[in-house]
Amino acid sequence: MKNLCVTFVLLLGACAAISPESRMGNVGAPGAWAATREAKSGIDRHWVGKIGGAELRSLVDSAISNNPDMKAAAARVERAGAEAKIAGAGRLPSLGLGGDANRSKQNFIGFPFGSGGGVPSNISQQFGVNLNAAWEIDVWGRAKAGQEAAIADAQARLYDYEAARVSLAGQVTKAWLALGESNEQVSLAEQAVGATKALADAVRQRFERAITDDGGSAAQVRLTEAEVATRSATLAERKQERERVLRQLEILLGKYPSGGLARSARLPDFPGATPSGLPSELLLRRPDILAAERELAAAGRRVKERKLARFPSLKLTGSTGTTTESIGDVLRSDFGVWSIGGSLTQPIFEGGSIVAGIDSARATERENIALLQKTVLGAFGEVEQSLTAEMFLSQREQAAKRAAELAKEAAERADDEFSAGTGDVLTLIDATQRKLDTASQYVAIRRLRLENRVDLHLALGGDFKASK
């Protein structure tokens, strides 16, 4: 990203125009957004480490470096910067150096002279070099407005790239969390298979000893064997899901989906409560909002460019060089020629194209105002939804944790009673199943809560305070 920013600055540094001023005031946001500490801080990426530490940061960095979508987004930034530079080139004089050589023969048919009675002729040759200059003086600022619009477009593409980075970081983080959940779900499923196999063995031993009073019946043997088969199918399903998530993560990292990535991920602890009183200015770090504002700024400059097309244009041209019949004299000033001229063109009738162009630019500007308003409103909505969801997910997690603890205690009691001969196998199977299911639900809710925290960071444009 650092190299991309340097390239972008160098491209725009060659432009004499200035980036258009902010138009955030069109949506009721602070007009001086670019001067605020939050906006200047840019997108904050420290939240990634707070979710998953160094391991997750390394994965995100790898994805940003190797993901094909990121490479395409970087190319679009470079292209937009080059187009801004091209747009500014028309404001400067153009110089061209040329040369020409010509050799011709002319026959004089019908003239009564010539050697040997042939047709008289004349051979002539001419050589020259010339330096041409042309300059359309931007009297009214039309070309400048067009260049400033191109600069704003280039800035929007840079923010689009930033938005792609943020989105990719979120996708990698969620895939990593999904892998962590899958690992824990596989572990729980393996424990379930082991527990049900042990139960099936115990029931079979009782059946073989014909202790029917303790529940050693053939039906109970089949019931426990069916439970083993069910839990084995669940284990296969969990492993399949882990393989799917693993390959999805590899694709995000720009790697071939071979399933060879390390599988040690586990769900991290929740990073803590959200602080109260989050400033709304944090949203000004969001690259999608900044990109939408730059699109609006570009549209405004294009309206001005279209309006100024009604004014006259002033062009100056000039050339200097030499022309001679001998190639050896093309650099001698004695054979020099020069010319200078100017033209003033005032559009009078263009078939309504100028007025239609202004109307089109104004309509685009209104569209961009609406899109910016939509983006800002959507950003506030995402923050509100994430904050609300965090509150309810916290309650769900606490309830799921309590349910898992109670189900575990119930399973332990049922196992003790079964071992003592006072409990039946159906109660033990049901208690064991409930223990495993509630544990699985608790893991799933933990991941949902962590994913929602990721969504909150994405909605805020980073951490809970602006970077200094």
Please write the tens of the pLDDT for every residue from 309-340. 888 888 888 787 677 766 666 566 666 677 78
Q: Supply φ then ψ for residue 262, to 5 degrees.
A: -60, 140
Task: Give, in order, the Cα–Cα distances in Å from 31 to each of 16, 38, 134, 292.
Answer: 24, 14, 40, 14
Say which residue, 367 or 419, is predicted with more confidence: 367
Residue 186 CB contacts under 8 Å (≥ 6 apart), including other chains: 235, 238, 239, 242
Other C-beta atoms within 10 Å of 182: how many?
A: 24
If you search the block for the tokens 């054979």, which residue do you land on? 335
The model's pTM: 0.79
Residue 399 CB contacts under 8 Å (≥ 6 apart), including other chains: none
How far is it, in rounded angstroms, from Cα 385 to Cα 456?
9
Note the pLDDT of residue 209. 73
Q: If you average pLDDT over residues 425-439, what whole number do you get?
A: 89
If you compute the radius of gyration of the chain from its CA atoms, what whole number of angstroms results?
38
Note the pLDDT of residue 3. 56
Note the pLDDT of residue 10. 47
**Residues of the chain with pLDDT > 90: what percent?**
32
What class is the 2-103+123-184+267-460 domain?
Answer: mainly alpha
Note the pLDDT of residue 17. 59
190: closest CA among 232, 240, 244?
Answer: 232
How far is it, in rounded angstroms, from Cα 289 to Cα 284?
7
Domain boundaries, the chain: 2-103+123-184+267-460
47: closest CA among 457, 449, 383?
Answer: 457
Note the pLDDT of residue 178. 93
Q: If you average pLDDT over residues 437-451, what whole number do you get?
A: 95
pLDDT band at 83 (very low <50, low <70, confident <90, very high): confident
Secondary structure of residue 282 in the 3-state scheme: helix
259: closest CA among 277, 273, 240?
Answer: 240
Note the pLDDT of residue 14. 45
Q: If you average pLDDT over residues 217-230, what whole number do you get?
A: 85
Note the pLDDT of residue 446. 95
Checking if the pLDDT of 16 tops 60, the result is no
- What does the block give as tokens for 295? 């699109």
Please write the tens of the pLDDT for every residue from 260-308. 777 778 899 998 888 777 777 778 888 899 999 999 999 999 998 888 8
Task: Give, in order, the Cα–Cα distances in Å from 279 to each of 26, 284, 291.
Answer: 20, 10, 21
8 Å CB contact between 432 and 196 = yes
Burial 128-151 (b: 16+ CB within 10 A, else e): bebeeeebbebebbbbbbbbbbbb
Burial-class residue 123 by CB neighbours within 10 Å (0-12, 13-18, 19+).
exposed
Task: Give, in order, the Cα–Cα distances in Å from 289 to each of 21, 102, 281, 378.
Answer: 15, 61, 12, 10
How far is it, in rounded angstroms, from Cα 131 to Cα 95?
7
DSSP 23-46: -GGGGTS-TTGGGSHHHHH----H
Please write the tens of the pLDDT for every residue from 270-282. 988 887 777 777 7
Beta strands in 346-442 (DSSP E): none
Q: If you average pLDDT over residues 108-130, what whole number do you get?
A: 66
Residue 323: strand pairing partners: 128
